[in-house]
């Protein structure tokens, strides 16, 4: 069915069936159907014309619980019922649980199960009574009230046993801390009323009170966990059934734990005063601060801190253990008593703390050595003073107490000075001589009276003052010197005069007394360097006799003189001079060979071979003339031909030739006539050092020859006619200096005849070679012959040379320069570039099409090996070619490290040397140029300490910066660095000993010896300790000391005496 409605299918008759019982099932329609069943009970009621009316009196029954099943507890039948069978009783309501059953005939009510008050105390039944006596059914409804009477069948029950109760110890008296509850399942009334009582309390006392009715447990008095931390209670619960014998009871055990509260402050148990020796090491525990706190856990855990009195941080208090330890050395002389405020604080809430003022008394030990007022002393005393003269007052103090602080002085005996043992006054023992010993370095000690005593040493430097009692002294009385002429500011000689005096008494000045009226010489008054003040001319003064003087600055001054003989040496400083500046001679072209052409005459004022004159002809004579070297006669050597003349002119001139003078003349011939034979001269390339007359070809000097290079003295002259088109020819004028020998390449012949057909193509060349010098140097040049009748058509460079700067470490691929050639005269064609000379090591690459030159291999680009390179570049087409010179000037970079000449240096010096005493000079080389090659020096490391030496940053000279004592450091080591970026070098300085320490008697020695030593046994202690005093005259042989070992042995068993 869809709705679940249950309907009657026919008329129901109660007489036929009074009750129906159905089982109804409800199912869903899932994949796995689920269902549930229910029981439906249907009672058929009689149809009466009058509905049953309930009686006005309700029947009440009072059965007692525990009635057995089947017992009759009452009846609903009226007392006037006539008999059985006239009334029918039906339970129509209230008996659904099946506890009660009504007899349908008699109307008696039975208990179907045992009654339980606790399950149900009241029940209401509806019973229908039908009467069939009148012929039709008549019914009435009776309501039955059933009140089950309770009986005491349930005992009180506590929910849990045992019970744990936690109470803070600071809970005030009267506070409820727990309520005991023991429910009783009986009905309301005495059976379920429970009373409580406290059966037992451990430990005994009146700490708690228990309310008998409510079961409330409260404090009768305050609790103290530190006194009683926990209690054991036994509580009984009893119901109040009227019959005492039927009463039930239950007991429970309760454990009351008193929790801790932070109600106790820490209490110090350790003393507030402690003593400690001042020489106790760091880490020594002075005192364990002990504090007691009666609380538990965090409330009783105590942390310790120093609140005040430890500003210098000398003590450390462990916050957990309370150990007070020394972290910085104590010094009684600085602070004799430390008052520390110690705070102990627990970790409860709120936190409690206690404070103690702890006094730490520092006890004195002899730990302070005497201290001088200065780290070192310096005094000055004049020489020749009598013995006993006071020099210096020393003062040393010792902050220890008593004998530990009593100071005495010593250390000077047998020398030129003595010291008073009590006052510390240093006096002279005899007169002093500064020239023998100008400085005395003394070591003075101050010793206290402790056992063992402490000593302090101080260095005293005594400078002996000078008196001017010595005159200057020259090493020699005279000296002969030679000086070349024409040398300006030449240092000739350094005068060496000595004066053993010091200061102004020993400071010397040098002067020229006589022999130099023209003041041709200068004498440095301080250094004594004698030098020329100007260039000397032997031809004017050939020798000098000088008297020089050395004078000190004492009072009165003292002096000494010396004689100097100076001879001026001749130099070839005068060129031979011809009688006239130029000669012009005309000779017929049919002059016979050997005929006299010209008689030359020249004079030289120099002496010796420097004044002997020889005559030579230059290459421009072309072998046509010759000259006799000694006489200067010029004669013809070959037949002359006026029509033949070379276009190369070589001229020899003195480097002192003045400007504005005519130096050469270039002339050209033109066999044409008229304007075609008119010739104009000009320089092919501009040259500001010379000028040329356009009409005559005369060449005039404009600048001094000495300032010009050979290239600048090579002139290219272009002679052009006035014809149409203009024709031209080029000549060369080479000017050589007479004072300089020509060094370099040259052609063996100044001219060469070449046969060339007149229809030879432009660009046709002829190779020529030149060589000269030992060893022979060579160069290859190209002579290109152009026809004057044709205009040049082809490729050429705009410039013949180009200077380029290039770093020496340029990486491969670096662009050097890009050069380009141009087409002239209408020429065309692809230009190809190549390097024809100067690239033997393949250091460069050139792009054949563009002319760009780049670095190929940088290994050969080394400024230090070859600072200048020269490349000859060729530009070529199918019909012509041209050349250009590229001068590469390499620029130096810092690619070399400074290198020391030695990797390890060793130097020896005497101890006690004064400041700035020379030790050694270290040298490092750097092949770089300029600032890259400048080396500076520094001390990178000094062992055993810094500040012992000083190094001159520029010279590498190492001097002392402190006074060394071999007894302290017999050897020192330096690590010296040379910069640019050099690797360091090590220097070991060995300090050599001088006898500057007197023997001293060692302090009393404590030795431990066993009481029965074996023969030869070394004295090392394990048992008893004795102080030995060894003296002469003992009956037993004395112990034998081992030199250098510091131990002694006995020759045979001996007793030990305590003196």
pLDDT tens sequence across 772-817? 444 444 443 445 454 444 556 778 888 878 888 888 878 898 998 8
Quick one: 272 and 236 in the same domain? no
Cβ–Cβ under 8 Å, residues 964 and 949: no
pLDDT at 268: 92
What letters, b where the CB count within 10 A reaches 16 and e where it falls short, cover 344-362? bbbbbeeebebebebebeb
Same domain, 60 and 142: yes
d(CA 97, CA 101): 10
- CATH number, domain of 714, equals 2.60.40.60
Do 414 and 339 lie in one domain? The reply is no
Q: Do residue 563 and residue 577 come from a single domain?
A: no
Residue 43 DSSP SS3:
strand
Q: Are residues 385 and 428 in the same domain?
A: yes
For residue 695, being part of any structural domain is answered with yes
DSSP labels for 364-429? Answer: P-S----EESSSEEEEEEETTPPTT-EEEE--EE--S-GGGG-EEEE---SSSEEE-TTT-EEEES
Place of tokens 């030289």: 604
Residue 20 counted as domain residue = no
Average pLDDT taken over every residue of the chain: 80
The three-class DSSP label of residue 870 is strand
Q: What CA–CA distance (Å, rounded) separates 983 from 937?
A: 11
Using DSSP, state whether 981 is helix, strand or coil: coil
Q: Do residues 669 and 589 both lie within one domain?
A: no
Q: Where are the beta strands (DSSP E) in 466-542?
A: 473-474, 478-484, 491-494, 497-498, 508-514, 521-523, 529-532
The predicted pLDDT at position 1049 comes to: 41
Nearest partner of 966 among 939, 948, 947, 952, judged by Cα: 948
Look at residue 574 and give its three-state secondary structure: coil
Respond yes or no on whether the N-terminal peptide bond of residue 283 is cis (omega within 30° of 0).
Answer: no
In this structure, are 389 and 444 located in the same domain? yes
Handedness of CA 194, 199, 203, 205 (dihedral sign): positive
Q: Residue 369: name the closest of 327, 321, 405 by CA.
A: 405
Beta-bridge partners for 784: 765
What is the rounded CA–CA span in Å between residue 535 and residue 520? 8
Q: Which of 340, 363, 386 is a domain's end point?
A: 363
Cα–Cα distance for residue pair 389/429, rounded to 1 Å = 8
Of 465, 491, 516, the one marking the end of a domain is 465
Please tell me the total number of residues recorded for the chain in this structure: 1059
H/E segment holding residue 822: strand 822-824
Check: CB of residue 330 under 8 Å from CB of residue 278. Answer: yes
pLDDT of residue 47: 60
Under DSSP, is residue 1026 helix (H, G, I), strand (E, B) or coil?
Answer: strand
Contact predicate 154/188, CB 8 Å: no
Global pTM? 0.33
Q: CA nearest 47: which of 136, 117, 163, 123?
A: 136
CA distance 787 to 684: 17
pLDDT tens per residue across span 495-546: 999 988 888 888 999 999 999 999 999 999 999 999 999 888 888 898 999 9
319 and 245 part of one domain: no
Question: What was the pLDDT predicted at 133?
Answer: 67
Integer Cα distance of 537 and 230 in angstroms: 130
Residue 68 lies in a domain: yes
The strand pairing partners of 817, in sequence order, are 853
Give the number of other CB atoms < 10 A from CB of residue 869: 19
Any domain includes 615: yes
CB-count burial class (<10 Å; 0-12, 13-18, 19+) for 896:
buried
- Cα gap 332→450, rounded to integer Å: 16
pLDDT attached to residue 339: 93
Residue 626 backbone phi and psi in degrees, to 5: -145, 155
Q: Which two tokens stand for residue 395?
A: 């003062």
With beta carbons less than 8 A apart as the criterion, state whether 857 and 841 touch: yes
Full domain range(s) for residue 347: 267-363
Which segments within 922-1016 are labelled E, that is strand? 924-925, 936-943, 949-951, 957-960, 971-979, 985-992, 1006-1008
Q: What is the pLDDT of residue 332?
A: 85
Q: Are 89 and 107 in contact (CB under 8 A)?
A: yes
Q: Which of 443, 465, 487 is the last residue of a domain?
A: 465
Own/partner contacts of 689-692, CB < 8 Å, gap of 24 or more, are 689/713, 690/663, 690/715, 692/666, 692/717
In a domain, 307, yes or no: yes
Q: How far is residue 224's CA from residue 233's CA, in Å, rounded to a whole number?
A: 17
pLDDT of residue 746: 53
| Nearest C-alpha neighbor of 275 from the set 365, 355, 366 | 365
Enumerate residues 6+ apart whose C-beta is below 8 A from 512.
521, 523, 546, 547, 548, 549
Question: Are residue 810 and residue 839 in the same domain, yes or no?
Answer: yes
Are 560 and 478 part of one and the same domain? Answer: yes
Element (H, E) at 715: strand 714-721
Same domain, 887 and 911: no
Give the DSSP per-residue string, 893-920: -S----EES-SEEEEEEETT--TT-EEE
The rounded distance, in Å, linking the Cα atoms of 836 and 822 is: 19
Give the gyration radius of the chain's Cα atoms. 69
Asked whether residue 497 is assigned to any structural domain, the reply reads yes
Of 859, 848, 846, which is closest to residue 817 (Cα–Cα)? 846
Tell me how far apart the alpha carbons of residues 600 and 578 are, in angstroms, rounded to a whole number.
7
As beta bridge partners, residue 53 has: 140
* In a domain? residue 355: yes
What distance in Å separates the CA atoms of residue 549 and residue 1030, rounded to the nearest whole number?
A: 69
Residues in the chain predicted with pLDDT less than 70, given as ranges, are 1-3, 46-57, 81-85, 95-96, 132-138, 618-623, 641-648, 675, 741-792, 901, 929-931, 980-1059
DSSP assignment of 500-513 equals ---GGGT-EEEEEE
Residue 41 lies in a domain: no
Q: What is the reported pLDDT for 620? A: 56
Residue at token pair 């069915």? 1
Answer yes or no: do 815 and 904 share one domain.
no
**Total structural domains in the chain?**
10
- Measure the CA dihedral 934/935/936/941, to 10°: 160
**Which residues is 194 bridged to in the sheet?**
239
């Amino acid at each position: 069915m869809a709705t679940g409605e249950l309907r009657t299918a026919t008329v129901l008759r109660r007489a036929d069936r009074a009750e129906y019982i159905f089982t109804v099932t409800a199912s869903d329609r899932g994949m796995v159907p689920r269902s549930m069943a229910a029981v439906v009970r249907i009672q058929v009621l009689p149809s009466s014309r009058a509905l049953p009316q309930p009686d006005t009196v309700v029947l009440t029954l009072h059965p007692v619980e525990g009635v057995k099943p089947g017992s009759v507890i009452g009846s609903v039948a009226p007392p006037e019922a006539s008999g059985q069978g006239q009334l029918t009783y039906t339970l129509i309501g209230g008996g659904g649980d099946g506890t009660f059953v009504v007899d349908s005939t008699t109307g008696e009510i039975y208990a179907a199960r045992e009654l339980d008050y606790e399950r149900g105390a009241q029940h209401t039944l509806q019973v229908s009574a039908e009467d069939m006596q009148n012929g039709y059914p008549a019914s009435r409804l009776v309501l039955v009230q059933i009140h089950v009477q309770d009986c005491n069948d349930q005992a009180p029950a506590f929910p849990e046993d045992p019970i744990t109760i936690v109470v803070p110890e600071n809970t005030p008296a009267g506070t409820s801390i727990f309520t005991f509850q023991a429910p009783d399942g009986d009905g309301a009334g005495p059976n379920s009323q429970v009373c409580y009582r406290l059966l037992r309390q451990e430990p005994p006392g009146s700490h708690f009170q228990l309310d008998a009715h409510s079961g409330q447990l409260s404090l009768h008095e305050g609790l103290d966990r530190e006194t009683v931390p926990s209690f054991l209670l036994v509580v009984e619960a009893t119901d109040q059934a009227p019959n005492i014998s039927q009463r039930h009871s239950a007991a429970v055990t309760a454990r009351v734990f008193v929790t801790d509260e932070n109600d106790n402050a820490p209490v110090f148990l350790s003393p507030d005063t402690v003593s400690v020796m001042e020489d106790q090491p760091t880490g020594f525990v002075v005192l364990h601060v002990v504090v007691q706190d009666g609380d538990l856990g965090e409330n009783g855990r105590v942390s310790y801190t120093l609140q005040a009195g430890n500003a210098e941080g000398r003590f450390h208090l462990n916050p957990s253990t309370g150990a007070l330890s020394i972290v910085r050395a104590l010094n009684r002389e600085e602070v004799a008593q430390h008052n520390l405020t110690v705070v102990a604080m627990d970790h409860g809430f709120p936190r409690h703390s206690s404070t103690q003022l702890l006094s730490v008394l520092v006890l004195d030990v002899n730990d302070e050595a005497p201290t001088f007022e200065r780290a070192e002393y310096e005094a000055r005393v004049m020489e020749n003073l009598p013995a006993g003269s006071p020099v210096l007052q020393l003062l040393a103090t010792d902050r220890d107490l008593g004998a530990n602080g009593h100071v005495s002085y010593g250390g000077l005996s047998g020398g030129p000075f003595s010291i008073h043992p009590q006052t510390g006054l240093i006096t002279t023992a005899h007169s002093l001589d500064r020239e023998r010993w100008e400085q005395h370095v003394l070591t003075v000690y101050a010793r206290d009276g402790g056992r063992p005593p402490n000593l302090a040493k101080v260095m005293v430097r005594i400078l002996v003052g000078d008196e001017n009692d010595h005159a200057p002294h020259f090493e020699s009385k005279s000296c002969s010197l030679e000086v070349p002429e024409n040398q300006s500011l030449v240092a000739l000689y350094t005068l060496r005069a000595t004066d053993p005096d010091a200061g102004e008494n020993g400071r010397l000045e040098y002067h020229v007394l006589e022999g130099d009226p023209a003041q041709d010489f200068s004498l440095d008054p301080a250094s004594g360097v004698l030098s020329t003040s100007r260039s000397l001319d032997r031809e004017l003064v050939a020798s000098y006799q000088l008297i020089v003087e050395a004078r000190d600055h004492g009072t009165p001054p003292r002096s000494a003189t010396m004689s100097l003989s100076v001879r001026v040496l001749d130099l070839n400083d005068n060129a031979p001079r011809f009688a006239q500046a130029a000669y012009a001679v005309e000779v017929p072209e049919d002059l016979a060979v050997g005929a006299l052409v010209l008689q030359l005459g020249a004079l030289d004022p120099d002496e010796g071979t420097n004044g002997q004159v020889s005559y030579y002809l230059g290459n421009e004579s072309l072998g046509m003339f010759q000259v006799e070297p000694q006489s200067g006669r010029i004669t013809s050597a070959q037949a002359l031909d006026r029509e033949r003349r070379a276009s190369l002119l070589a001229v020899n001139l003195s480097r002192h030739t003045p400007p504005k003078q005519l130096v050469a003349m270039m002339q050209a011939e033109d066999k044409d006539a008229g304007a075609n034979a008119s010739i104009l001269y000009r320089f092919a390339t501009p040259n500001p050092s010379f000028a040329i007359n356009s009409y005559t070809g005369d060449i005039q000097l404009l600048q001094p020859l000495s300032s010009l290079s050979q290239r600048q003295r090579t002139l290219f002259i272009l002679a052009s006619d006035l014809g149409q088109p203009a024709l031209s020819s080029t000549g060369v004028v080479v000017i050589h200096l007479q004072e300089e020998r020509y060094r370099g390449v040259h052609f063996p012949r100044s001219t060469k005849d070449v046969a060339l057909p007149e229809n030879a193509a432009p660009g046709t060349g002829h190779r020529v070679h030149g060589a000269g010098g030992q060893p022979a140097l060579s160069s290859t040049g190209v002579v290109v012959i152009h026809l004057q009748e044709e205009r040049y058509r082809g490729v050429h460079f705009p410039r013949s040379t180009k200077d380029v700067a290039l770093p020496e470490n340029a990486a491969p691929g670096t662009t050097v320069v890009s050069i380009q050639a141009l087409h002239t005269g209408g020429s065309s064609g692809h230009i190809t570039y190549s390097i024809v000379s100067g690239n033997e090591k393949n250091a460069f690459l050139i792009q054949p099409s563009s002319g760009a030159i780049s670095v190929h291999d940088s290994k050969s680009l080394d400024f230090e090996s070859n600072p200048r390179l020269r490349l000859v570049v060729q530009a070529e087409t199918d019909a012509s070619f041209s050349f250009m010179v590229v001068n590469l000037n390499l620029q130096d970079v810092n690619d070399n490290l400074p290198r020391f000449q030695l990797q390890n240096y060793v130097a020896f010096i005497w101890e006690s040397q004064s400041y700035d005493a020379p030790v050694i000079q270290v040298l490092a080389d750097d092949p770089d140029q300029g600032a890259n090659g400048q080396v500076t020096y520094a001390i990178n490391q000094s062992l055993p300490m810094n500040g012992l030496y000083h190094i001159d940053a520029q010279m590498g000279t190492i001097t002392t910066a402190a006074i060394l004592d071999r007894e302290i450091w017999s050897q020192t080591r330096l690590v010296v660095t040379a910069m640019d970026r050099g690797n360091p070098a090590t220097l070991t300085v060995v300090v050599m000993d001088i006898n500057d320490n007197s023997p001293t008697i060692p302090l009393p020695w404590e030795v431990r010896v066993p009481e029965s030593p074996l023969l030869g046994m070394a004295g090392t202690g394990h048992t008893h300790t004795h102080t030995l005093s060894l003296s002469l005259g003992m009956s037993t042989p004395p112990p034998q000391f081992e030199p250098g070992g510091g131990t002694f042995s006995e020759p045979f068993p001996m007793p030990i005496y305590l003196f």
